């Protein structure tokens, strides 16, 4: 029993290292592409998401090293105490030098992290750093409401306006975007605070009533990605599950055309004549 606490504190760093090592293989890692067996599991589907993941890894490395070293030190001290049974413990009033050291070192690490992440933050959140092409033609307006995502696209060939236009196209819980180019959406909320969260794309942004918040991302691989609400917004919060469909530009264009035909179809007119006033 004398060695129990020494063994106890040495045990956890070993558990941590084992878990770190097997996690990616067990799919306990970051959310990635839809197929859990694919090579891209745990991998961000946006280039900026890769940068964000790298920030996580940096912090993970720093905290892991500190965690393992402090536990080894603690285990060693406890081991010494257990081994030298008859020895009297040293009574200390603390060490000024040590206090200064473990204040300055973490401060330095935190300042380093806060400066190091600035560039990723700028790309993600500062509008003047957004890719120009994305800012010029927002793909859609996404309005969160209790409890769904309402999507408004401009008519094919037109630009999204701040105010709804008569020929705008609408869907719910199904956001289509073209792949391999930066796209921007205008995020709004109709009622309470929601959060636009696409885990595989590493995009998370609060939606605030009364504000139009631009969000940009670039999906590098066609596919279906999750869109959920990451802000507890009411009893039906769990229902705000939607999908983001990333598809090549031509397919995206076709999707908008089909959506327009579907929306303009009154069920009476001949489909062909309804489509005749194409611009
Ligand atoms: Cu919500």
Q: In this model, does residue 236 exceed pLDDT 70?
A: yes
Distance between Cα 112 and ligand 1 center (Å): 34
> pLDDT tier at 189 (50, 70, 90 boundaries)?
very high
More confident residue, 88 or 110: 110
Q: Minimal CA–CA distance to 129: which of 145, 118, 142, 140?
A: 118
What is the model's pLDDT at position 148? Answer: 95
| 3-class SS of residue 11 | helix
Q: What average pLDDT is seen over the chain?
A: 88
| Cα–Cα separations (whole angstroms), residue 264 to 3, 151, 170, 174, 232 | 78, 17, 11, 19, 36
Instruction: Measure 170 CA to ligand 1 centroid, in angstroms.
Output: 19
How remote is the CA of residue 94 from the centroid of ligand 1, in Å? Answer: 50
Give distance in angstroms: CA of 217 to centre of ligand 1: 20
Span from the CA of 212 to the centroid of ligand 1 (angstroms):
16
Provide the H-helix boundaries in 27-142. 47-83, 96-116, 118-125, 132-136
CA dist., res. 212 & res. 76, Å (int): 56
User: 89: exposed, middle or buried (C-beta count within 10 Å: 0-12, 13-18, 19+)?
Assistant: exposed
Asked if the model's pLDDT at residue 276 lies above 50, the reply is: no
pLDDT grade, residue 35 (50/70/90)? low
Question: Separation of 20 CA from ligand 1 center, angstroms?
Answer: 32
Angle at 95 between CA 89 and CA 100, to 5 degrees: 150
Order of strands, edge to edge, in the sheet holding 183-189? 169-172, 148-153, 140-145, 183-189, 213-217
Residue 271: pLDDT band (50, 70, 90) is low
Residue 120 is predicted with a pLDDT of: 94
CA–CA distances in Å: residue 160 to residues 175, 187, 243: 15, 13, 21
Ligand 1 centroid – CA 195 distance (Å)? 6
Residue 178 in contact with residue 249, Cβ under 8 Å? Answer: yes
Sheet bearing 174-178, strands edge to edge: 174-178, 242-247, 223-229, 194-198, 203-207
Which residues, 6+ apart, have CB-to-CB distance to 229 below 8 Å? 144, 147, 194, 195, 196, 197, 237, 240
Task: Give the distance (Å) from ligand 1 centre to CA of residue 157.
Answer: 31
Q: Which domains does the chain have, with CATH numbers?
A: 4-29+43-84+97-125 (no CATH), 131-265 (2.60.40.420)
d(CA 27, CA 42) in angstroms, rounded, equals 7
Lookup: tokens for 84:
């030298």
User: Confidence band (pLDDT; 50, 70, 90) for 20?
Assistant: confident
Mean pLDDT of 199-203: 92
Percent of the chain past pLDDT 70, that is, above it, reads 93
**How is residue 171 written in tokens?**
């869907």
- pLDDT average, residue stretch 254-267: 89
182 contacts 173 by C-beta, under 8 angstroms: no
pLDDT digits (tens, 9 = 90+) for 90-126: 888 889 999 999 999 999 999 999 999 999 999 999 9
**198 alpha carbon to ligand 1 midpoint, in Å?**
13
* C-beta of residue 173 within 8 angstroms of C-beta of residue 241: yes
Residue 205 alpha carbon to ligand 1 centre in Å: 12
Confidence of residue 83 (pLDDT cuts 50, 70, 90): confident
Residue 213: pLDDT band (50, 70, 90) is: very high
Q: What is the SS3 assignment for 177?
A: strand
For residue 78, report the distance from its CA to the centre of ligand 1, in Å. 49
Task: State the pLDDT at residue 78.
Answer: 86
pLDDT at position 267 is 80
Ligand 1 center to 200 CA (angstroms): 18
């Amino acid at each position: 029993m004398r060695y129990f606490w020494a063994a106890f504190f040495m045990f956890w760093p070993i558990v941590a290292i084992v878990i770190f090592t097997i996690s990616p293989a067990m799919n306990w890692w970051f959310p990635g592409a839809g197929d859990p067996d694919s090579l891209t599991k745990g991998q961000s589907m946006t280039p900026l998401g890769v940068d964000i993941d790298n920030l996580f890894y940096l912090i993970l490395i720093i905290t892991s090293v500190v965690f393992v070293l402090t536990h080894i030190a603690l285990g060693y001290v406890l081991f010494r105490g257990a081994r030298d049974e008859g020895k009297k413990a040293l009574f200390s009033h603390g060490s000024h030098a040590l206090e200064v050291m473990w204040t300055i070192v973490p401060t330095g690490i935190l300042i380093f992290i806060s400066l190091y992440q600035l560039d990723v933050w700028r790309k993600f959140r500062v509008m003047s750093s957004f890719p120009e092409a994305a800012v010029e033609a927002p793909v859609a307006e996404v309005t969160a409401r209790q409890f769904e995502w309402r999507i408004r696209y401009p008519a094919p060939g037109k630009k999204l306006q701040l105010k709804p236009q008569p020929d705008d196209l609408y869907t719910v819980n199904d956001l289509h975007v073209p792949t391999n180019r930066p796209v921007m959406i205008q995020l709004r909320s109709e009622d309470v605070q929601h959060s636009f969260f696409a885990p595989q794309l590493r995009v998370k942004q609060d939606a605030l009533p009364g504000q139009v918040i631009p969000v940009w991302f670039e999906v590098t691989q066609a596919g279906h990605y999750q869109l959920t609400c990451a802000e507890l917004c009411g009893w039906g919060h769990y229902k705000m599950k939607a999908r983001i469909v990333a598809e090549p530009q031509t397919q995206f264009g076709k999707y908008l055309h089909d959506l327009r035909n579907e929306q303009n179809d009154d069920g009476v007119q001949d489909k062909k004549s309804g489509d005749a006033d194409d611009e």
